[in-house]
Amino acid sequence: MGWSALASPTAAPSGLGLFATRRRAFQGVRMADAGSKSGRGALVVLEGLDRSGKSSQCARLLSYLEGQGCRAEGWRFPDRGTCVGQMISAYLANESQLDDRTIHLLFSANRWEKRALMESKLLGGTTLIVDRYSYSGVAFSAAKGLDIQWCKAPDVGLIAPDLVIYLDVQPEKAAERGGYGGERYEKIEFQKRVADHYHSLRDSTWKVVDGSLPMETVEEHLRELATNCIQECQEKPLTNLTW
Ligand code: NYM
Ligand code: MG
């Protein structure tokens, strides 16, 4: 409700001119990266409702960055490849039942088990484009009625993102996009509550992109945001999430 969208049809970047500027800026990133051992990677997080386009945009952004010679990896949470991730996956597929607080803590544990690797990748100069992070953890669990402060607590001490991009799509619109996949939480009434919680989690540092714009327009905004972020945080220390 009333989020000021960064990307609107009237505010769309003016095509090639702006993009050429960004491209030059990005070459600056590469040169600085090559010349300085201390240049770290950026932690860029995409958040949004189910079917908001995050996964497609993460993939597009990643291949763009790689094409620019930037060392980058695509990550996602939940990471279903770990033992904890498999428990989460079974729960989401309705193959197992878990208490609401238990599954919340498993989602958090799934981020904690990747924290050390995340830190070493970032410090080693690799940018991580991450599809969902702690904000999903809080928004989805709080939408079930769990206390927000309780939901935030287990993620204190994870690495703080350098950039959070929220792909803003109305729950009704998201539901129209090829339907939901049948996993737990993929119901419009639930997604509306999730959207309300995302709204209250958001602070002034978040970049909200109108996810209902054409894919290419969204992609261009993400390129610009990520490029700026990578450039700006190279010399900044990593910080921990404190909420
Ligand atoms: N989800 C995701 C949570 O409930 N808590 C979390 O901490 C995270 C990371 O899992 N509906 C929910 C959001 C999604 C579902 O995510 C699976 P995806 O991006 O569809 O694989
Ligand atoms: Mg999903």
- pLDDT tens digits, 162-186: 999 999 999 999 999 887 888 999 9
CATH number for 97: 3.40.50.300
- Pocket probe for ligand 1: among 77, 100, 140, 188, the residue whose CB has the most ligand atoms within 8 Å is 140
Per-residue pLDDT tens over the stretch 132-148: 999 999 999 999 999 99
- Ligand 2 ion: Cβ-proximal residues, 5 Å cutoff: 50
Number of domains in the chain: 1
Q: Write out the two tokens for 27.
A: 């070459």
| Banded model confidence at residue 31, pLDDT cuts 50, 70, 90 | very low
Closest residue by CA, ligand 1 atom 17:
78
Whether residue 97 lies inside any domain: the answer is: yes
Whether residue 14 lies inside any domain: the answer is: no
Please report the pLDDT score of residue 37 as a whole number.
Answer: 53
Domain, as residue range, for 126: 35-232
Q: Give yes or no for residue 185 CB within 6 A of ligand 1.
A: yes
| Distance in angstroms (rounded) separating the CA atoms of residues 181 and 164 | 25
Whether residue 16 lies inside any domain: the answer is: no
Whether residue 10 lies inside any domain: the answer is: no
| Distance in angstroms (rounded) separating the CA atoms of residues 79 and 71 | 21
Whether residue 205 lies inside any domain: the answer is: yes
Q: Write out the two tokens for 21.
A: 């500027």
